[in-house]
Structure 1
Amino acid sequence: NHTRTRAELYVAQGLVDRAIEVYEHLLREDPADTETRLRLSVLKAGDEPVADEVDDDEVETLARDLAQSGDEEHEVDTPFAWPDDDLEEQSDETDEPSIGNFFGDLLGYVQEPDPDES
């Protein structure tokens, strides 16, 4: 999946060569895209300053944009979150133990000695 967002994410991480590859792919798909052609020429000319340190906020924003740019709908606003489930629809009655009970039982487990090993 080649997108401008992915290319800019590579640039933000200092991976200009990979960004150039993405832009070249985009130009092969749409040779008339002047904005992509201009951005590619800037990167190839080396006019893009390479960040010494990656700006975490910028990378997270670009990653979120990339996640949202897919062909299919996403259930979350960010790749770092769970979807909001309607808790009222979930039944509290279940035959399964709660996660707390499961781990409590697991932590309290004591293996009985094997009588054949005595």
Structure 2
Amino acid sequence: MTREYYLRSLISDNGSLKDFATKIGMPYSTLLSILKNVGGAACDNVFKICQGLGISADSLSMLDKIPSNVILLELTPAEQQHIKKYRKLSPAGKKEVDHYLDFRLSSEAPRVEKDSEISSL
């Protein structure tokens, strides 16, 4: 995945490119230009975009070095701790955790659907 594609997809997930440019105080034409070639952009502008998306410029710079089949996630410290603990479990322990997560998700899914039905009334 290219840095340009990654940024464009993150911005698009949160609305239009034009709205994002306004949000970070950058001319729309400058944003479009940067999304064609991040490497040629002024550092200040790249920092504005990263700050507006809540990502680090370091993570963006590493993107070209990461294989395309790797999924990048921004994890909270608590999520990182859960993953570290999960990796220490035996295969049987991991299976139990996986089953419990599936159970919790299935029991919460109907509630989430009902909440969204109520809010749409």
TM-score by length of 2: 0.27
Larger Rg: 1
TM-score by length of 1: 0.28
